[in-house]
Structure 1
Amino acid sequence: MKNKLSRTIVKLIVISAFFIVVWLLYSNCSKDKIVKHPNILFVISDDQSYPHASAYECKFVNTPAFDRVASEGILFDNCFAASPSCSPSRAAILTGKNIWQLEEAGSHISYFPRKFTSFTEVLEKNGYLVGYTGKPWAPGNWRDSGWDKNPVGTAYSDLKNTPPTSGISDIDYTANFVDFLSNRTESQPFFFWCGMFEPHRGYEKGSGLKAGKKLEDAEVPTFLLDDDITRMDLLDYALEIEWFDSHLGKIINFLEKTGELDNTVIVVTSDNGMPFPRAKIQLYEFGIHVPLAIRWGDQIKPKRNVSDFIGFNDFAPTFLEIAGISDSLNNASGKSFLDVLLSEKSGRIDQTRTFALSGKERHNYSRANNLGYPIRGIRTDTFLYLRNFEPDRWPAGDPDLFLDGELNKLSGITILNKKEVNTKANKLFHLMVDKRPSEELYNIVDDPGCIHNLSDNPDFSTQLKQLRIKLEGELTWQSDPRVVGNGNVFDSYPTFKPIQLFDKNGKSLFPGFAAYGEYNESVLYDK
């Protein structure tokens, strides 16, 4: 009897162990189904706002390739650039850190310190073939920072084509991608950064109309003057997005023909928002909210819309986890969203992904001493809260400089030409250039153009306080100098954009700034 009982107990233990093993295998199946060392194709446009892709039901932009990626994968509704400025945003993508953690690389056209690790070099050390075409981390100086090549990888941009307009780059992005793959050894995984220059300015004026687009189809944001000139400018912008999309489509077709498509993670996004006033270079909605679609064969369930907030510092840890590489990014503040990709759900998947952070320091020279306009922001489902750290500075540049500084890079737009003629244009013009309070709050649901600042509205005092505390807490644990001390250090960093503005007597309009490429340590002692 005793032996029979013992045998029964042993049998039960064996059966239980079997079911435990089966349960463990089943519970981990989503991770186990990951293809080992998949290819990663990162396709990034230059200056494209959400929702300017037809997958987002935008009427004046047609993006069938982006739409295919979204339909056969995931369309994200809440992806936010680390900065409304290209080189800081790209540095955040590469390092998994926010711009206030990146020293010189957190400013436009400065250094990329060698102390920071790029996920691309980690992939390369682990056997990936790594390269790029078009625009990598740029503009800025990586050579004198100790890098032997651009932090993105090896360049493949020699092959050219004839662009349809004068504003479009002559780089043949597709041909250069094919050339890159010809250097791959058998079964070697690859990471390729396809950095197209479109739809960055400048545009060939009227090119959208010449291509058959119609003025009445343009969707004019509330922060721009709605007239024919603005609409024409938006159509030119849309045409360049479509050029970007055409190369994306050709690259996808090539991967499909070579049998590599389903083993390739395709990520399509933009570095920051559209190159228009109150969008690019500013932390308003159209400056930081960007498109994002991701496809990965049968590894992820298709036709999903996801509302989780994705920040640019989340890409690096995600790519490394996809590649099966342990985190080696020196305390990245970003977090992998592989779990979001592998989920079969739509909507909000990770309940902690309810906000995104963004920031800005100096973009172009626009102020005496070459000072920047530091901003930090937090975006939630409903609100955008901004903290302006230097509200006494002119946000678009000093009045005698801004037309030659930041604002002149953004328009063609009638706001600049009609400010003395049209009352609405005058109001919009002042929204762009006038000084701002230290805090701004916008209801993005009701006011995506960020026209009505609610920071002084007592009905929103609770939301203002909550977002202020949340933003300050995030910046504190990430050791942002603007919050924990010595924030002036950002204004001391060099710029590698030639300063060529002089008054009629030949005197520099930037008193106090050292020179091209030199540190301006005098600003460290201003306060």
Structure 2
Amino acid sequence: MANYRVFLCSLGLAATLFSCKNEEKKKETEENKRPNIVFMMSDDHAYQAISAYNDKLINTPNIDRLAKEGMLFNNASVTNSICAPSRAVILTGKHSHMNGKIDNLSKFDTTNVTFPQLLQDAGYQTAMFGKLHFGNNPKGFDEFKILPGQGSYYNPKFMTKDGDTVIDGYVTDIITDLTLNWLEKKRDPEKPFLLMYLHKAPHRAWLPAERHYKEFTKKEFPLPETLFDDYTRIHLKANSPEFTSQKKNLEQPKNRKSTAAKTAEMNILTHMILTNDNKLTDSVVKKLGIKEPYLGDPTSRMNEEQKAAWDKVYSPINKEFAENYHEMDDRDLMKWKYQRYMQDYLGTIAAVDENVGRVLDYLDDNNLSDNTIVVYTSDQGFYLGEHGWFDKRFMYEESFKTPLLIRWPNKIKAGITEEEMVQNLDFAQTFLDVAGVEAPDEMQGKSLVPLLKGEQKAWDRDAVYYHYYEYPAEHAVKRHYGIATKEYKIIHFYYDIDEWELYDRKNDPQELHNIFYDPDYSEVREEMVQKLKEVRKKYKDSEKLDKQFIKVYEDK
């Protein structure tokens, strides 16, 4: 009997040891399992409109979750602040001059190798839902449903491998429905996945969902400090000793305003359209004798029920404006247009935040979060009235800086803020790195993995490069290139002008003082000019390429 008890005890001990070894092996397998990748990107989502960055405009609790549970980047930027080129940079890991997609007009060279192709080849299941902006058959995806071009907010059309389809409803909700349906019904649980979840919102013309425009049209928002900026950037007095001495070393600026800033066509007062952007009806605008371009009715895709709900809220806005318009001066009109802009723009973001929450909840509820890296970003920054502007394109801060929040449980320490300089150029190599896939030599970014793991000493980048090409074109932002360090930013505007701007990012965050001609900053100027030359060479950009791209543009 005693021997039998010993036998049972031995058997129990063996079973326990076997179970422990299995658990250890299972844990080791889970830890070494290639992570899933969820890439969330909105279109024109300003970092100022995410409460993790700025809580003065809107509360975004679901996007903020990624900051609380992961890492928020304070120095993330883009290489070319315009939609399609930004997406090409993200997919290829190469600057615009290297991948060929310099503007929204040029075709994307499909011989470029993209990171989704490489992940698919490495065994990842891949899917894309939402707005790509260019192309109708993106390479490297097992499944996609993408909007044609800009897409529509209401009852949008989607392109698929099987042809076009129209889906009734609100675009932000629909993109999320498609995404969740794929996760629930089409995902292969035996494979890691890459999921690109790409929103149209908050792109112009900013049509919120009914549940949000009812709320946001009642809100009033604080005015930006620089809403009435006159674009004066050189503040040395013409007869001052400082100005006289700087003339000996540099050609005197033709004027004290920034030519590029003052000639850009994105001012809320003069360039924002009352019908398309501010949602006045064409009949009201004509009745008031206002002459402006007419881009069509932004609500034209709404069905009768949707349009009736819209009119119930926006008709009183039209009526009130018509009653008060002739009493408004330019400042009054600027303020009115700004409030209308913010109400609709931020209303579209409310839907984005809600739907990001739906995806995060699904990952949590289905035990996918622990082995999934989630990225939230925008294709570029955006002006929310700063300097009187809407839109993007400039290397100035609100356009250049982009939101970036990343969650990766067990890899990223929760609640961390990162100050190192990163760009959308880095996404391709980051995703390949986390998947254990070797990046092609021609990719020009850097994997963010060392930063995500808290290894800042391994990060050796001290400047990021920017180049904007789409001129002459919509919004009339002149061609320019430049670099930014944590302390300074230098910009060279070229093509039809030859002007330089230099800003002290620490002491002049609003970029109101061009110190390029300031003798007190002569050493900084020389250092930044030299560093710009070195960075241009590093990324294989040059005056020769500038001229080639200008010729291609002019020949169109």
With normalisation by structure 2, the TM-score equals 0.66
SS in 1 for 2:41: strand
| Map of 1:475 onto structure 2 | 536
1:249 aligns with 2:389: no
What is the identity, as a one-letter code, of the residue corresponding to 1:356?
V
Aligned to 2:406: 294
Closer/same/farther in 2, CA of residues 151 and 476 from structure 1, 3 Å limit = farther
- Matching residue of 1:201: 204
Deviations 1:487-518 (A, max 9, x none): 22223446xxxxxxxxxxxxxxxxxx6xxxxx
Is the alpha carbon distance of 1:227 and 1:213 closer, same or farther for their aligned partners in structure 2, counting shifts above 3 Å? same
2:453 to 342, 349, 361: 342
* Stretch of structure 1 that moved more, 446-455 or 41-50: 446-455
Instruction: Give the structure 2 partner of residue 51 of structure 1.
Output: 48
Larger radius of gyration: 2
Matches within 5 A, 1:124-273: 124-136=120-132, 138-139=133-134, 142=135, 149=138, 154-157=143-146, 169=171, 172-181=174-183, 182-204=185-207, 210-212=214-216, 216-220=220-224, 222-223=226-227, 227-273=335-381
Instruction: Verify the 8 A CA contact 1:161 1:171 in the aligned structure 2.
Output: no
Structure of greater relative contact order (alpha carbons < 8 Å, 6+ residues apart): 2
Q: Secondary structure in 1 aligned to 2:200?
A: coil
SS at 1:385 equivalent: strand
Q: How has the CA–CA distance of structure 1 residues 247 and 62 changed in structure 2, closer, same or farther, with 3 Å as cutoff? A: same
Cα pair 1:129 1:184 within 8 Å, conserved: yes
2:95 aligned partner: 98
**Correspondence for 1:352:** 460
Paired position in structure 1 for 2:314: none
Deviations 1:414-453 (A, max 9, x none): xxxxxxxxxxxxxxxxxxxxxxx52111223343332322
Distance 1:306 1:316, change over 3 A: same
Conservation of the 8 A alpha-carbon contact between 1:36 and 1:324 = no
**C-alpha separation between the residues in 2 aligned to 1:467 and 1:121?**
38
| CA-CA distance at 1:212 after TM superposition | 4.5
Alignment RMSD (CA, Å): 3.2
On the 8 A contact 1:52/1:291 being kept in 2, the answer is no
The yes-or-no answer on 1:440 pairing with 2:497 is: no
The answer to whether the 8 A contact 1:75-1:304 is kept is yes
Check conservation: 1:374, 1:388, Cα contact below 8 A: yes
Contact 1:161–1:172 (Cα < 8 Å) also in 2? no
| Contact 1:129-1:189 within 8 A present in 2 as well | yes
- Segments of 5+ residues of structure 2 without an aligned counterpart are 1-27, 156-167, 230-333
TM-superposition CA deviations, 1:450-490 (whole Å, max 9, x none) = 232221111122222211111211111222143xx142222
Question: Where is the helix percentage greater, Structure 1 or Structure 2?
Answer: 2
TM-score (ref. length: structure 1): 0.69
Which amino acid is 1:458 matched to? P
Alpha-carbon distance, 1:219 to partner: 4.9
- Measure the CA separation in 2 of the matches of 1:224 and 1:486: 37
User: Residue 201 of structure 2 aligns to which amino acid in structure 1?
Assistant: E
**SS of structure 1 residue aligned to 2:492:** strand
**Given the alignment, which residue of 417, 434, 438 partners 1:322?**
434
Q: Shift of residue 72 of structure 1?
A: 0.4
Aligned partners of 1:268, 1:450: CA distance in 2, in Å? 27
Q: 1:461 & 1:161 partners in 2: Cα distance? A: 50
TM-superposed CA distance for 1:37, in Å, is 1.4
Q: 1:232 to 1:161 in 2, by over 3 A?
A: closer
- Work out the CA distance in 2 between the residues paired with 1:283 and 1:113: 25
Matched, 1:491 2:493: no
Q: Paired residue for 2:117, among 115, 121, 126?
A: 121
Whole-Å separation in 2 of the counterparts to 1:102 and 1:218? 40
1:333, CA displacement in angstroms?
1.1
Question: How many residues in Structure 1 have an aligned counterpart in Structure 2?
Answer: 404
User: Within the alignment, does 1:375 sit opposite 2:503 as a pair?
Assistant: no
| CA displacement 1:279-336 (0-9 Å, x = unmatched) | 50111111110111100122221111110111111111110010011113x4211011
